């Protein structure tokens, strides 16, 4: 998902290069004039300085859009069953499941679409374990897992600890940081 701030920053950076920006949206910016007249190196550098990357091909743009759709789909309030995520993603992206798999297979980055989805799902589980008061079972169900054991096993392989241990570590870490801040440094 592209936030309004990100759109403003991209627009500003392109306009500061003297370009007339017609539209900025997820994965694309439309500017007036022929593409051959653009200084791609300066555009790439300006966007990189602002924390953005210039995508090279329509397939890169599409893959970026699919990655954003994965994040959005996982964070929706209704639960999409673990086994149904790819079908739901293909429907939202307006392409077939095979086409979606093929797109990911040809691009650099995450190896496969299921691997990327699993990684994002478990990264979101970490966020929920850190910030949410929900039980671990409820978090597993919210992420589309039908079994707490399956969720726990995947989480252990991902984070090298059980979900309950991860939650405990995250609760202790801020308290330790506060205690460290309160102890004066006696080194001279």
Residue 24 dihedral angles phi and psi, to the nearest 5°: -130, 130
Residue 39: CB partners within 8 Å, gap ≥ 6?
Answer: 17
Query: For position 188, what pLDDT does the model report?
Result: 45
**Is pLDDT above 60 for 186?**
no
What is the tally of helices (H) and strands (E) in the chain? 9, 2
Helix (H, G, I), strand (E, B) or coil at 49: helix
Residue of 156, 153, 157, 127 whose CA lies nearest to 142: 127
What digits encode the pLDDT tens for the residues 22-79? 888 766 788 888 777 788 888 888 888 888 877 666 777 777 778 888 888 888 877 7
What digits encode the pLDDT tens for the residues 129-180? 999 999 999 999 999 898 999 999 999 999 999 999 999 999 886 655 555 5
Residue of 78, 106, 42, 139 whose CA lies nearest to 31: 42
Q: Which two tokens stand for residue 96?
A: 């077939």
Neighbours of 148 (CB within 10 A): 16
Pairing of strands 21-25, 28-31: antiparallel
**Is pLDDT above 80 for 125?**
yes
**Is pLDDT above 60 for 2?**
no
All structural domains of the chain: 4-54 (no CATH), 59-175 (1.10.10.60)
Residue of 39, 43, 41 whose CA lies nearest to 29: 43
**Is pLDDT above 70 for 183?**
no
């Amino acid at each position: 998902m592209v936030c309004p701030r990100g759109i403003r920053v991209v627009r500003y950076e392109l306009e500061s290069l003297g370009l007339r920006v017609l539209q900025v949206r997820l994965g694309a910016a439309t500017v007036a004039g022929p593409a051959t007249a653009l200084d791609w190196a300066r555009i790439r550098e300006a966007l990189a300085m602002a924390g953005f990357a210039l995508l090279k091909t329509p397939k890169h743009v599409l893959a970026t859009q699919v990655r954003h759709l994965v994040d959005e789909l996982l964070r929706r309030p209704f639960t999409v069953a673990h086994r149904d995520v790819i079908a739901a993603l293909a429907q939202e992206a307006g392409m077939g499941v095979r086409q979606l798999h093929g797109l990911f297979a040809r691009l650099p980055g995450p190896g496969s679409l299921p691997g990327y989805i699993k990684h994002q799902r478990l990264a979101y589980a970490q966020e929920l374990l850190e910030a949410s008061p929900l039980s671990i079972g409820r978090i597993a169900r919210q992420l589309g897992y039908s079994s707490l054991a399956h969720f726990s096993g995947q989480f252990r392989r991902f984070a090298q600890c059980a979900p309950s241990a991860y939650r405990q570590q995250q609760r202790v870490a801020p308290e330790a940081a506060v205690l460290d801040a309160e102890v004066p440094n006696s080194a001279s």
